[in-house]
Amino acid sequence: MRFLSFATASCISAVTATILQNGQIRPNNYPDTTVSTISSYNSSWQTYAPSAPEISYKGRWDDKYISWWSAPGLKFGFQAQQIAISFGNYTSDGVLIAYRIDGQDWMLTNVTANSTHLLVTPSTAGFNLTTPQGALQSLELRVTNWAYGVQINCIHVSGGPARLVKVPEYTRTMELIGDSLSAGQYATLEGISSYSWGLMYGLGDVEFSITAYPGICLHDSRCYGNLHGQTLQWLKIPDTSGRALDIYGSDPAGIPDWNFTAHAAADITVINIGTNDNNTANNITSAEYYTSYIQLIDEIHARWPKSQIVVLSLWSGFSQVGNTWAQGAGFLDEIQNVVKHFNNGSLNQRGECTSCFVYYFNTTGILEHNDIGPQYHPTDVGHVKLASHLMMYVKLVFGWDLRQTGPEVQHDTLYWNDQSSY
Ligand SMILES: *[C@@H]1O[C@H](CO)[C@@H](O)[C@H](O)[C@H]1NC(C)=O
Ligand SMILES: *[C@@H]1O[C@H](CO)[C@@H](O)[C@H](O)[C@H]1NC(C)=O
Ligand SMILES: *[C@@H]1O[C@H](CO)[C@@H](O)[C@H](O)[C@H]1NC(C)=O
Ligand SMILES: *[C@@H]1O[C@H](CO)[C@@H](O)[C@H](O)[C@H]1NC(C)=O
Ligand SMILES: *[C@@H]1O[C@H](CO)[C@@H](O)[C@H](O)[C@H]1NC(C)=O
Ligand SMILES: *[C@@H]1O[C@H](CO)[C@@H](O)[C@H](O)[C@H]1NC(C)=O
Ligand SMILES: *[C@@H]1O[C@H](CO)[C@@H](O)[C@H](O)[C@H]1NC(C)=O
Ligand SMILES: *[C@@H]1O[C@H](CO)[C@@H](O)[C@H](O)[C@H]1NC(C)=O
Ligand SMILES: *[C@@H]1O[C@H](CO)[C@@H](O)[C@H](O)[C@H]1NC(C)=O
Ligand SMILES: *[C@@H]1O[C@H](CO)[C@@H](O)[C@H](O)[C@H]1NC(C)=O
């Protein structure tokens, strides 16, 4: 820990986009937390480097402290009156982050490269409230968009002991491997509105990663501009975004590998991949898909031998059939054959699978046609339905209890009818 003087944060014009929710423009004038200089705000600040052991990173980050994939974040305990975070050059312009003290509702603010943001002061919601069992207050931050990211330059604290404290990591671990459906594309708050988030944050007390990226295939092929499929990319730190190309280039040899031994293995891995392979825009063959699926599961199992792997069937949208609607099913037989491949020969005399670690999760019957938005992705309600069913599946099949018993998981989903009689 050391004292620093601070450069003036620059003001960079941010990306603007209009999000429609149910046809209405969603307000996105989130509070601006930028501070021009820390020293003018309060001179007695202490600064932690991004490598400080007190900071727990969630999801995939590289050695430059740049975040990747969907809904990555960080968390630490603190004893301080104010906390500010300086974001580095590699932060996407105007990227939306969610952050909160302990179990308060998520707050949102846009952050930009080369800027410092004051996220906690005594007037921040929850600041004066007690924590359970005398625990320290904690701050958690999440990047909401799947293509954008932040770079942490340093974290500043002032007031009181002005210190950060490591929060112990949860012992339950999960991974979700997927494409846009799992990354939260077109959900109102993207990554933190996705079913992946709803499932893994919603279970509570879980360390997790959402290695999902829009347009990506399972098979290692160029799909919708993504240079590689998940059989290759899942082994890497970064996703397939343009910013990853800018920083690491297109040669796989130059893209850093994720160090699996430096991070906890996932107890449960959920996979929902193949909707892009199963599209005439990409035309991955049935044999390529089947072989690549086995390859991916072999790769996971080699690194995490004890991981229980849940394979989702592809719902592939809905179409009108006669006077009603029916769910599709991409690579229906291929996915079942992949599961059979891993479970073949594992049945005991009573027909029970004693050594099986690959499970088939049938998505048919969870979503209905109007749970899919005009852009072919689940609505927020669709994501919540998927998350809820998967949470109960994890509870029933693996015996995990539901530990998120109050704090908000999905943000901006609170709407209700206040009319008591008609
Ligand atoms: C903040 O982020 C949201 C979501 O990405 C975006 O729509 C909005 O334009 C951003 N605002 C600013 C000022 O960057
Ligand atoms: C960040 O600031 C440095 C130094 O002031 C400048 O050279 C660099 O271009 C800035 N980066 C961005 C992304 O604005
Ligand atoms: C930002 O980028 C500029 C130009 O590449 C570099 O001089 C500066 O050191 C960088 N700043 C940080 C904080 O990384
Ligand atoms: C916390 O207490 C301080 C000092 O009494 C006060 O200024 C601040 O507004 C309070 N914060 C909240 C969120 O109530
Ligand atoms: C800095 O902030 C702390 C905590 O709010 C306060 O105790 C201290 O007096 C402030 N120092 C200055 C120089 O404003
Ligand atoms: C991966 O992490 C392990 C454990 O922290 C470490 O011993 C090893 O050197 C790392 N490997 C690489 C290639 O960085
Ligand atoms: C995929 O196959 C379909 C049907 O044969 C064909 O119309 C389409 O052009 C193919 N797409 C690509 C990208 O090759
Ligand atoms: C997608 O999967 C379905 C069901 O297995 C299959 O009939 C269809 O040919 C596949 N289409 C493509 C483009 O892979
Ligand atoms: C299961 O194992 C049997 C005998 O080894 C083999 O003939 C069969 O093809 C296997 N089935 C699958 C789906 O892998
Ligand atoms: C999936 O569920 C649907 C609806 O219950 C059922 O019709 C279908 O047979 C199931 N598929 C498999 C492979 O079990």
Distance CA 123, CA 139 (A): 14
- Residue range(s) of every CATH 2.60.120.260 domain in the chain: 19-165
- Tell me the CA–centroid distance for residue 328 and ligand 8, in Å: 10
What distance, in Å, lies between the first and last C-alpha atoms of the chain?
Answer: 62
Mean pLDDT by 10 residues, the chain (422 residues): 30 55 83 81 83 98 98 97 96 97 97 96 94 88 98 94 95 98 96 98 98 98 97 98 97 98 98 98 97 98 98 97 96 97 79 84 97 95 98 97 97 86 80
The number of the ligand 8 atom at minimal distance from the alpha carbon of 278 is 14
The number of the ligand 6 atom at minimal distance from the alpha carbon of 259 is 1
* Ligand 8 pocket, residue 281 CB under 6 Å: no
Give the model's pLDDT for residue 349: 75
- Torsion angles phi and psi, residue 278, rounded to 5: -85, 45
Q: Residue 176: in which H helix or E strand, if any?
A: strand 172-178
Atom 9 of ligand 5, nearest CA residue: 159
> Could you read off the pLDDT of 256-304 as tens digits, one per residue?
999 999 999 999 999 999 999 999 999 999 999 999 999 999 999 999 9
Domain at 172-398, CATH class? alpha beta
> What residues does ligand 9 touch, defined as CB less than 6 Å away?
337, 340-341, 344-345
- Residue range(s) of every CATH 3.40.50.1110 domain in the chain: 172-398
- Tell me the CA–centroid distance for residue 31 and ligand 2, in Å: 24
Among the four given CATH numbers 3.10.310.30, 2.60.120.260, 2.60.40.10, 3.90.1200.10, the one describing domain 19-165: 2.60.120.260
The number of the ligand 7 atom at minimal distance from the alpha carbon of 280 is 1
* Ligand 2 pocket, residue 114 CB under 6 Å: yes
For a substitution probing ligand 5, which of 40, 44, 156 has the most ligand atoms within 8 Å of its CB?
A: 44
Q: pTM of this prediction?
A: 0.91
- Tell me the CA–centroid distance for residue 240 and ligand 10, in Å: 33
Give the model's pLDDT for residue 160: 84
> Could you read off the pLDDT of 202-234 as tens digits, one per residue?
999 999 999 999 999 999 999 999 999 999 999
- Tell me the CA–centroid distance for residue 134 and ligand 5, in Å: 25
Q: Residue 378: in which H helix or E strand, if any?
A: none
The answer to whether 307 and 267 have CB atoms below 8 angstroms apart is yes
Q: Which of 57, 87, 62 is nearest to 73 (CA)?
A: 57
- Tell me the CA–centroid distance for residue 392 and ligand 10, in Å: 18
* Ligand 8 pocket, residue 330 CB under 6 Å: yes
Q: Which tokens sit at 150?
A: 């932040």
